[in-house]
Amino acid sequence: MVTIAIGVFPAQAQLRFESPEHERAVRHLIPLDDYPVADFNAPEPVNAEQRDLRFARNKRHNSTDLSKADIPRFVFQELTNPIQLGLPPSHAPVELAFPVSRSDMVVIGEVKDTAAYLSQDKTDVYSEFAVQIESILRNTSLLQIASNSIISTERGGGHVRLDSGREILRGADGKPMPQVRQRYVFFLVSDAETQSFTIITAYELRNGRAFPLDGSSRFKKEMVIREYAEYDRHENADESTFLNEVKAAISGSRNLTNHWTRGASRTFLKKLRVLRPRQLCRSVLSCFPKTAWKCCLTKSTFRNYNVPMRTRIVKIGNSLGVRIPKLLLEQSRLAEEVEIEAFDRQIVISPARQPRDGWDAAFQSMAQNGDDKLLDADAQNLSSWDETEWQW
């Protein structure tokens, strides 16, 4: 018998220490000073406008996959694992070296300042970088940005300093932090509500050469992270050649988008009629190829799991099971109780049917077709026994 165990798993695997010696070895390899520090009980800004803005930015990093009852267990505390470096999910695609389609802003800028902040529920930490823009290579965001201005960029991870002085590190292996007084080419995603940008990736420009910020593992030099392998191709590239490649990628993306837009304009006008909001949204998006409008949606509103995902049957206790990612489970909208059946070399998981489910519709159909009459209605007229002999 094969048991399908449905579990909710985090979006990224976490590295944990196997022993104190392992912890010391990892701390020696990781440049801890590269990560900004956030005090657990840092005071809020005095200015009301800045306080509201900070609240909105902190709230973006709350743990959305936790219930209110579970949040206190994941708040940073003395027993929290001191270092956790996230790894990509096993089914994550390889990231492009120049993620132009995902970026609504590409700039060259210098990091002027950095700081770390806790999420509003104090279960996560993120780092914020003040970047002075030197040149804008692409800007399709809703924010009006000028050259030489300073923008706020952020990346998940950082140090958390508890009241006792103990520090807890969070981050993603292969995704380190930009450094102050260094020039980078940033690929960014904007958030108009918080007036900030999330760093997808960046390349440091130093001494006429380009170096990827992201790429190989920082604590296992021999390990190449498959999902970040494309970044390493531009290690120590000539700066002029590198920037020309970036501009060519941006130009190619712009020309492709214009081609889609011209081809879809007539269809768009035909479909733009009086529709309900949901129908209107589907109608507008159907005018463009999925790859054209996929990049316009945020990660939280669009996840493509239509492509079959390969996994393995693993041993769980005395049974066998398949781990189902949380995002896939959310998309299927399955409840806690499900039905499992085997069909044509497949195991099908579907929502559990309720008792007498569908009976109302079946009765209505029977009434419409005249099938709700008693089968022995005529037999009652053949004898008077029911009227004379039977005692009610």
Structure-block tokens of residue 318: 């005395």
Q: Are strands 125-139 and 196-206 parallel, antiparallel or unpaired?
A: unpaired
Q: What is the pLDDT of residues 61-103, one digit of tens each?
A: 998 777 778 888 889 998 888 888 888 877 788 899 999 989 9
* Residue-by-residue DSSP string for 180-199: TT-EEEEEEEEETTTTEEEE
Indicate whether 6 pLDDT > 50.
Answer: no
H/E element, 204: strand 196-206
Of 244, 221, 246, 213, whose CA–CA distance to 138 is shortest? 246
More confident residue, 68 or 196: 196
- Domain-wise residue ranges, the chain: 13-259
Question: Is pLDDT above 90 for 348?
Answer: no
Q: What is the predicted pLDDT for the residue at 248?
A: 92
The pLDDT of residue 8 is above 50: no
- Written as one letter, the residue type at 87 is L
Q: Which residue has the higher pLDDT, 379 or 301?
A: 379
pLDDT in tens, 280-306: 455 454 544 444 444 444 433 334 444
pLDDT confidence tier of residue 5, bands split at 50, 70 and 90: very low
Is the pLDDT at 136 greater than 90? The verdict is yes
**Considering the entire predicted model, what is its pTM?**
0.63
Angle between helices 239-271 and 277-285 (to 10 degrees): 130
Q: Does domain 13-259 have CATH number 2.40.50.120?
A: yes
> For residues 87, 90, 91 and 93, what is the CA-based torsion angle, rounded to 10 degrees?
50
Q: What are the contacts of 258-266 at 24+ separation with CB within 8 A?
A: 260/288, 260/289, 260/292, 261/288, 264/288
pLDDT digits (tens, 9 = 90+) for 144-166: 898 899 999 999 999 999 999 98
Average pLDDT over residues 265-290: 49
Rounded Cα distance, 47 and 61, in Å: 22
The pLDDT of 137-148, averaged and rounded, is 90
Q: In what order do the strands lie in the sheet with 83-87?
A: 13-14, 83-87, 167-172, 158-161, 37-39
Percent over 70 (pLDDT), the chain: 69
Position 22 scores a pLDDT of 61
pLDDT at residue 371 tops 80: no
- In this structure, of 45-59, 65-79, 95-109, 203-217, the range with the lowest mean pLDDT score is 65-79
pLDDT band at 23 (very low <50, low <70, confident <90, very high): low
Residue 253 pLDDT > 60: yes
